[in-house]
Amino acid sequence: MTMSVAMTVNGKTVSGNVEARTLLVQFLRETLGMTGTHVGCDTSQCGACVVHVDGVSVKSCTILAVQADGSKVTTIEGLAESPEKLHPMQEAFRENHGLQCGFCTPGMVMSAIDLVKRHNYAVTEEIVRHGLEGNLCRCTGYHNIVKSILAGAQAMKAAGV
């Protein structure tokens, strides 16, 4: 069964016809061609597909595209103000070598931003490590991801984002 769906992705209104079974991540990647959001597993364990739906981090492989109908979705492509000016969290990952192969990175950054906001910028190493339970990284050993998020929280607070 084909269904029509419309939502705002990174500030732009988009629409399309999808099969009822189409996941949000498939809609983003295949219909919209926005491939920054990744698929790393089929059990909703890895977090490579995390996006923000109405401001809250969501694994986009856990919801259907039609469930996001009418929502505001932000993906990794929608974070940076411009190619030159990264979001403070993106910048913190760059400064602190919080990524290696880069595959889990979009999901990590999206999770990190929501985590920091949920804790009103007051995150500790323990909060960050616990808060990243839904995201897997195989390259960094998390050491530099944790460091990046702690630095990113400070930078987000300073920038008021």
Partner 1 sequence: MGNVKIGDRVTRKEDRRFLTGSGRYVDDLQLARVTYAHFLRSPHAHARIKSIDTTKAAASPGVVAIFTGKDVAEAKVGGLICGWVVKDKHGNPHKAPAHPAIALDTVRHVGDTVAMVIAATADQARDAAEKIEVDYDVLPAQIDLATALDPKAPQVHADAPGNLCYDWELGDKAQVDAAFAKAAHVTKLDLVNNRLVPNAMEPRACAAEYDRGTGNYTLYTTSQNPHVARLVLSAFVLGIPEHKLRVVAPDVGGGFGSKIFIYPEETMCTWAAGKIGRSIKWTAERSESFMTDAHGRDHVTHAELALDKDGKILAFKVDTIANLGGYLSTFATAVPTYLYATLLAGQYTTPVIYCNVRAAFTHTTPVDAYRGAGRPEATYVVETIVSKAAREMKIDSAELRRRNYIAKDAFPYQTPVALTYDSGNYGPILDQAMKLADYAGADARKAAAKAKGKLRGVGICSYIEACGIAPSAVVGSLGAGVGLWESAQLKFNPTGNLQILTGSHSHGQSHETTFAQIVSDKLGIPLDQIEVVHGDTDKVPFGMGTYGSRSLPVGGSAIMRAADKIIAKGKKVAAHLMEASEADIVFENGAFKVTGTDKNVPLGQAVFAAYVPHNYPADLEPGMDENAFYDPSNFTYPSGTQICEVEVDPDTGNVEIVNFVAVDDFGNVVNPMVVEGQVHGGIAQGVGQALMENAAYDKATGQLLSGSYMDYTMPRADDLPSFKLGYEVTPCPHNPLGVKGCGEAGAIAAPAAVMNAVRDALSAVGAQDRIEMPATPQRVWAAINAH
Q: Quickly list DSSP for 58-89.
A: EETTSSBGGGGTT-EEE-GGGT-SSSSS--HH
Q: Binding marks (x or -) toward partner 1, 42..61, rule CB under 8 A?
A: xx-xx-x-------------
Q: Are 51 and 73 in contact (CB under 8 A)?
A: yes
Closest CA to 66 of 2, 122, 10: 2
75 is a site residue for partner 1 (CB under 8 A): yes
Nearer to partner 1, 70 or 138 (CB): 138
Q: Are 62 and 104 in contact (CB under 8 A)?
A: no
Q: Binding marks (x or -) toward partner 1, 131..160, rule CB under 8 A?
A: -xx-xxxxxxxxxxxxx-------------
Task: Point out which residues bind partner 1 (CB under 8 A).
Answer: 19, 21, 29, 33-43, 45-46, 48, 75-77, 79-80, 83, 86, 90, 93-95, 97, 99-106, 109, 125, 128-130, 132-133, 135-147
